[in-house]
Amino acid sequence: MKLRVISLVFVLVIGIFSTSGQNTAKLHKGIEEYFDSLIYYPIDTITSRIDRLITALPDKKEQAKVAGAAFDYFYGSPIMGMEAVSLHIADNWFLNGKLEWANPESWHLLYTFAEFNRSSMIGCDAPELILESIEGYMINILKGDAQWKILYFYDDQCSTCKEETPGLARFAREYSGQRITIFAIYTQGDRKEWQEYVKRVFGDISNPDVTILHLWDPEANSAYHMKYGVLTTPSMFLIDRFNIIAGRKLNCEALYRLLDVKFNESNEFRKLFVNIFSSMGPVDEDVIKQVAETFYRRTALDSALYRETFHELYSFLKNTPGADYQQGALDIGRSYMLEKEEYWSKEYLEYISYDIKLSSTNLPGEKASDLLLNDSKGREQRLLEGCSRYTILWFYLISCEECSKEAVALAEKEKYLRKKGVKVKAIYVGEDEEAWRDFQKRNPKKWVYLLDKTGKSGLDTLYDVRTVPQIYLLDRKKRVIGRELGTEHLFDLLDTL
């Protein structure tokens, strides 16, 4: 009931702002054309130029007309994020009393607009929400290691929701890429209707790249309507890996486009790093430090660019085979992330700290960690028992599509591997023992098949298997030659041995 009242107020806000706001563009020749010329600049540039324009006018009445026209223009802009300009105008010209809002009867609605949007603008830290899941436990939306988070506020009666919600369900089924968590947040109060709607619309979504969590807050104890300006539904936000709001008031089509832009940016970073390191000869600790310090000098004053740059650099080094790259990732993580905590959210720093802890085990040149696992006959067996001239430790899941491709690639190279003196140890990190046994029948008999039947081996703390497949290559002395390899890199490495 509370939300429906708030939604009605917001409809009134839209009506007043769009029909009887400050709309004075006709009184100022060329003002709308001037606003048109600003929309592709950064928000702070736009607000600075509008402030200068308002200040240059001769009296308060003229200033109020132009400020009101600017508020209306950017409030109604179809370009995502422009409402931040309207918020700036509201805060810096009207709500602080500098200028008089033309329609006193709608002043409180101006105030409502500002209060319900200031926490969820693009570039803001995402406000924390702790909500109840459909299973009955509490979820903090800022936790987790997904690359992207989607907040989707909806109800089951809203006509627009009836179009957008099935679209989001299709997205969850078809998406492929960096890990995404979708928080589908039901804004009404009937649990039975909610459960039936989730079952009917979302069904059984099984996508390894997508986690979908169904949440609600029927008493609005989390104040989500104010924190995220949820005054009407549907309302969709995109939150990045740093818990910064990257997109707001999206529909499914805009979500696709925005993610495509973000993925392209990530690819461009990777190409840049490839070009830089390939041009600098042999990569060692000094080269990586030199590159990192150069990027630090160029990005330190821009927190958003700093975060993106060093996250991408860390990821690039971590996922590039070679001891120097792996060590470089650890150095970047410690020096430019953990020691520069002012740039990062608390949750991201927790993630990086844990990631560094896992990445610091089984480094190239070190002896691999041993584990007590179970073989195909149910017997306990040490992971490093019976190693060969070279040993592949292959961590996988049967349901993982990429793991299936690697299984085929390894099986096709069976003769090559035997000739090189390589033993394959396939370590299943799932729990479906029946599927694991069926998997063995379809793959080479010479492989050693292991699993952590009790879940007490310490596998999750000694090897980084948060994502699979993962390949480690060991030498005769059980020292790590390469880690977190793909099959292509694995065979290239073996060719050099």
Question: Has residue 275 been placed in a domain?
Answer: no
Question: Quick one: 156 and 42 in the same domain?
Answer: no
- Residues in Cβ contact with 206 at an 8 Å cutoff, skipping those fewer than 6 apart: none
Q: Which of 294, 328, 359 is the last residue of a domain?
A: 359
pLDDT band (50, 70, 90) for residue 86? very high
Question: Quick one: 56 and 81 in the same domain?
Answer: yes
pLDDT digits (tens, 9 = 90+) for 154-197: 999 999 999 999 999 999 999 988 889 999 999 999 999 999 99
Please, which residues bridge with residue 245 across strands?
239
Question: Has residue 20 been placed in a domain?
Answer: yes
Question: Quick one: 216 and 304 in the same domain?
Answer: no
What percentage of the chain has pLDDT greater than the value 70? 94
Mean pLDDT of 353-376: 90
pLDDT band (50, 70, 90) for residue 28? low
Question: What pLDDT was estimated at residue 19?
Answer: 38
Question: What pLDDT was estimated at residue 20?
Answer: 39
Q: Which pair of structure tokens corresponds to residue 53?
A: 């324009």
Question: Quick one: 487 and 382 in the same domain?
Answer: yes
How far, in Å, CA of 28 to CA of 443, rounded? Answer: 76
Question: Has residue 266 been placed in a domain?
Answer: no
Question: Has residue 187 been placed in a domain?
Answer: yes
Residue 140 has pLDDT above 90, yes or no: yes
Residue 416 has pLDDT above 50, yes or no: yes
pLDDT digits (tens, 9 = 90+) for 275-309: 999 998 788 999 999 999 999 999 999 888 999 99
**Number of domains the chain is built from:** 4
**SS3 assignment for the chain:** CHHHHHHHHHHHHHHHHHHHCCCCHHHCCCHHHHHHHHCCCCHHHHHHHHHHHHHHCCCHHHHHHHHHHHHHHHHCCCCCCCHHHHHHHHHHHHCCCCCCCCCHHHHHHHHHHHHCCCCCCCCCECCCCEEEECCCCEEECCCCCCCEEEEEEECCCCCCHHHHHHHHHHHHHHCCCCCEEEEEEECCCCHHHHHHHHHHHCCCCCCCCEEEEEEECCCCCCCHHHHCCCCCCCEEEEEECCCEEEEECCCHHHHHHHHHHHHHHHHHHHHHHHHHHHCCCCCCHHHHHHHHHHHHHHHCCCHHHHHHHHHHHHHHHHCCCCHHHHHHHHHHHHHHHHCCHHHCCHHHHHHHHHHHHHHCCCCCCCECCCCEEEECCCCEEECCCCCCCEEEEEEECCCCHHHHHHHHHHHHCHHHHHHCCEEEEEEECCCCHHHHHHHHHCCCCCCEEEECCCCCCCHHHHCCCCCCCEEEEECCCCEEEEEEECHHHHHHHHHCC
Q: Which of 211, 238, 255 is the last residue of a domain?
A: 255
Question: Has residue 286 been placed in a domain?
Answer: yes
pLDDT band (50, 70, 90) for residue 29? low
Q: Model-level pTM?
A: 0.71
Report the mean per-residue pLDDT for the chain: 88
φ and ψ at residue 190, rounded to 5 degrees? -100, 105
Question: Quick one: 249 and 313 in the same domain?
Answer: no
Q: Which pair of structure tokens corresponds to residue 261?
A: 């832009």
Question: What pLDDT was estimated at residue 439?
Answer: 94
Which of 24 and 146 is assigned the larger pLDDT?
146
Check if the beta carbon of residue 359 is closer than 8 Å to that of residue 330. yes
pLDDT digits (tens, 9 = 90+) for 102-114: 888 888 889 999 9
Q: Which pair of structure tokens corresponds to residue 393?
A: 């430790």
Mean pLDDT of 80-84: 89
Residue 4 has pLDDT above 60, yes or no: no
Cα 122 from chain centre? 15
Q: Which pair of structure tokens corresponds to residue 63?
A: 């200033």
Check if the beta carbon of residue 59 is closer than 8 Å to that of residue 22. no
Residue 72 buriedness (CB in 10 A; 0-12 / 13-18 / 19+): buried
Residue 87 has pLDDT above 90, yes or no: yes
Question: Has residue 220 been placed in a domain?
Answer: yes
How far, in Å, CA of 112 to CA of 14, rounded? Answer: 11
Residue 270 has pLDDT above 50, yes or no: yes
Residue 424: which of 438, 406, 437 has the closest Cα?
406
pLDDT band (50, 70, 90) for residue 458? confident
Residue 7 has pLDDT above 60, yes or no: no
Question: Quick one: 387 and 353 in the same domain?
Answer: no
How far, in Å, CA of 451 to CA of 428, rounded? Answer: 5
Question: Quick one: 391 and 470 in the same domain?
Answer: yes
Residue 60 has pLDDT above 50, yes or no: yes
Question: Quick one: 233 and 144 in the same domain?
Answer: yes
pLDDT digits (tens, 9 = 90+) for 306-331: 999 999 999 999 888 777 888 999 99
Mean pLDDT of 40-63: 91
B/e letters for 135-172, b = 16+ CB within 10 Å, e = fewer, are eeeebebbebbbbbbbbbbbbbebeebeebbeebbebb
Question: Quick one: 104 and 135 in the same domain?
Answer: no
Q: Which pair of structure tokens corresponds to residue 173?
A: 């089924």
**Ramachandran region, residue 365 (left: φ > 0; alpha: ψ -120 to 50; beta: rest):** left
How far, in Å, CA of 194 to CA of 151, rounded? Answer: 17
Q: What is the CATH number of the domain that holds 477?
A: 3.40.30.10
Question: Quick one: 157 and 232 in the same domain?
Answer: yes
Question: Has residue 315 been placed in a domain?
Answer: yes
Question: Quick one: 413 and 486 in the same domain?
Answer: yes
Q: Which of 90, 115, 140 is the last residue of a domain?
A: 115
* Residue range of the domain that includes 232: 130-255
How far, in Å, CA of 332 to CA of 338, rounded? Answer: 9
Question: Has residue 143 been placed in a domain?
Answer: yes
